[in-house]
Amino acid sequence: METNHGQGDDASPIRLAVRTATLEDLKAAARAGLRDMIARPGLSLFFGLVYALLGALLIAGLAVFDQIWIAIAVAVGFPLVAPFLAAGLYEMSRRLARGEGFSASDILLVIFTQQRREFRWMSFVVLFVFWIWAYQIRLVLALTIHYRHFRSLEDLLVGVFTTSGGATFLLIGTLVGAFLATVLYSVTVIAMPLLLDRDVDFVTAMITSVRAVLASPVVMLGWGAAVGALTLAAVVPALLGVIFVFPFLGHTTWHLYGRLISQR
């Protein structure tokens, strides 16, 4: 693992070289991600199961605490925190690429130690944006459906999908949500694996991630849209699809990072 502490010899922030992404890069990263998942299926699916259980617990908690109004925000926005939860998958792919053996405890230890580094600051950024995401949903609900108490998820869905206010809510919510999702995706897609792989500060990591997206906007935003679509599709069948989709996306993201950031 490279150690440069985010500084050059002149004590100025480093500027990592960013390569232009192509469709072939995405295909190669996806193939490598699938290969890693097949190589260690038990541990890969374990992380997928944890992610699915966290989503289920979160939604169940909303019902218990009578906050079902936010269920749509959670269902759509929960994938935004995936890069943070995928640290274990990144580490697995990193070690597999180097031909290193590892156990489940090795990977979990790496995840734990990351919380003592810049990775934890990125978690605050991710959760902050997710919090904004959730409460913009509440604001839009108040403005369009004249926010009322929803007794159940079915009641919420009826209000959203069968009323004129609900249609307005979906339109505005989609536009605002797409903007927030694009911002968060842009600052994390490369930043998360970069922080795991190198000793850089989280600001440098976020800037590098945004540079990677700007260098190849069509390919990178296309990949972001694919990630969102796959995750949402996986969420629909009672979160069961997440168990398989999440590790595949995590491993693939690591290999995409490796193809875009110059390795020295």
> pLDDT confidence of 10, banded at 50, 70, 90?
very low
> Percentage helix, strand, coil, to 5, in the chain?
75, 0, 20
**In this model, does residue 108 exceed pLDDT 60?**
yes
218 or 141, higher pLDDT: 218
pLDDT higher than 60, residue 116: no
For the ranges 32-41, 137-146, 204-213, the lowest mean pLDDT is seen at 137-146
Handedness of CA 40, 41, 43, 48 (dihedral sign): positive
Q: How far apart, in whole angstroms, are the C-alpha atoms of residue 197 and residue 1?
A: 6
pLDDT category of residue 12 using cuts at 50, 70 and 90: very low
**pLDDT class of 7 with cuts at 50, 70, 90:** very low
C-beta of residue 81 within 8 angstroms of C-beta of residue 145: no
Q: 76-92, pLDDT tens digit by residue?
A: 555 556 666 788 999 99
How far, in Å, CA of 46 to CA of 191, rounded?
23
Q: Kindly report, residue by residue over 180-198, the tens digit of the pLDDT.
A: 888 888 998 999 899 888 8
Contact between residue 249 and residue 53 where contact means Cβ atoms under 8 Å apart: no
Backbone phi and psi for residue 261, each to the nearest 5 degrees, phi listed first: -105, 125
- CA-CA distance, 145 to 157, in Å (whole number)? 12
Whether pLDDT at 2 is above 70: no
Percent of the chain with pLDDT over 70: 78
Domain spans, the chain: 23-260
242 close to 234: Cβ distance less than 8 angstroms = yes
